[in-house]
């Protein structure tokens, strides 16, 4: 189920200079995108993509778009706030589809066809704006951003999801063991026994919780 928390219709340039609100611990761009909300499994669900400016902020922080692209997107969003709000809803729909797919992968469940259809549509949309460029003896993807496109940060996220699903690393996708977190990540540890999205947060909280329970039983 998609849960929306849409913010105001203003998208100031300062959105990108505010205190960082996103973490990039997934090991893959698409999983970092899926992790843009907190407490998925708990009662305190918290949306981090609260307005279009936040979506742009995530794009810059994740490397999905450049600062130059961000400046253009925020300017266009200010000129067409209704379109920006619509794009935010579309982004959250795509995020939830990515999350549903990879959480099913992590749990070895069947992949929801509706979520895969949403991702495929986003992959096709991104492919319309992608071209190969040869530079420094290697080929790289270059994204062509026509004026008026407010979803350019979604194109590389969708492609990253598709490439991860088609790669050998898909079997290393895990879900945080915290009962209230459930963030996704690629387990690239040597023994593939990583349990937490981030040991400094969920890992330490779980250790503290278990310590407190042991103290109560003594």
Q: State the burial class of residue 175 (Cβ atoms within 10 Å of its Cβ: 0-12, 13-18, 19+).
A: buried
Which residues are registered as beta bridge partners of 87? none
Parallel/antiparallel/unpaired status of strands 130-135 and 138-143: antiparallel
For the chain, residues with pLDDT lower than 70 are 1-20, 42, 199-201, 203-218
Taking the CA atoms of residue 155, residue 159, residue 162 and residue 164 in that order, the dihedral angle to the nearest 10 degrees is -130
- What's this model's pTM, rounded to 2 decimal places? 0.84
4 domain residue, yes or no? no
26 domain residue, yes or no? yes
Q: Containing domain of residue 183, as a range?
A: 13-217
The pLDDT assigned to 20 comes to: 63
- DSSP letters for 139-194: EEEEE---TT---TTHHHHHHHHHHHHTSGGGGGEEE---TTT--EEE--STTS--
7 domain residue, yes or no? no
Q: In the chain, how many domains are there?
A: 1
1 domain residue, yes or no? no
CATH number at residue 127: 1.10.3300.10
User: What b/e sequence results for 68-87 when a residue is b if at least 16 CB atoms lie within 10 Å of its CB, and e otherwise?
Assistant: ebbebbbebbbeeeeebbeb
The pLDDT assigned to 74 comes to: 97
6 domain residue, yes or no? no
pLDDT digits (tens, 9 = 90+) for 168-201: 999 999 999 887 788 999 999 999 889 888 866 6
């Amino acid at each position: 189920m998609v849960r929306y928390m849409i913010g105001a219709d203003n998208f100031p340039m300062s959105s990108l200079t505010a205190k960082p609100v996103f973490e990039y611990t997934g090991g893959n761009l698409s999983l970092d995108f899926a992790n843009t909300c907190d407490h998925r499994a708990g009662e305190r669900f918290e949306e981090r993509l609260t307005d279009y400016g936040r979506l742009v902020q995530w794009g810059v922080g994740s490397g999905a778009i450049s600062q130059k692209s961000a400046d253009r997107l925020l300017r266009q969003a200010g000129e067409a706030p209704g379109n920006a709000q619509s794009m935010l809803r579309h982004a959250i729909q795509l995020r939830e589809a990515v999350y549903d797919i990879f959480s099913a992968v992590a749990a070895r469940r069947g992949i929801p066809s509706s979520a895969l259809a949403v991702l495929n549509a986003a992959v096709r949309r991104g492919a319309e704006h992608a071209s190969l460029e040869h530079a420094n003896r290697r080929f790289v993807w270059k994204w062509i951003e026509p004026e008026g496109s407010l979803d350019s940060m979604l194109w590389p996220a969708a492609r990253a999801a598709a490439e991860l699903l088609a790669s050998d690393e898909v079997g290393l996708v895990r879900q945080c063991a915290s009962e209230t977190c459930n963030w996704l990540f690629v387990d690239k540890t040597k023994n593939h026994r990583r349990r937490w999205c981030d040991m400094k947060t969920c890992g330490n909280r779980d250790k503290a919780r278990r310590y407190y329970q042991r103290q109560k039983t003594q």
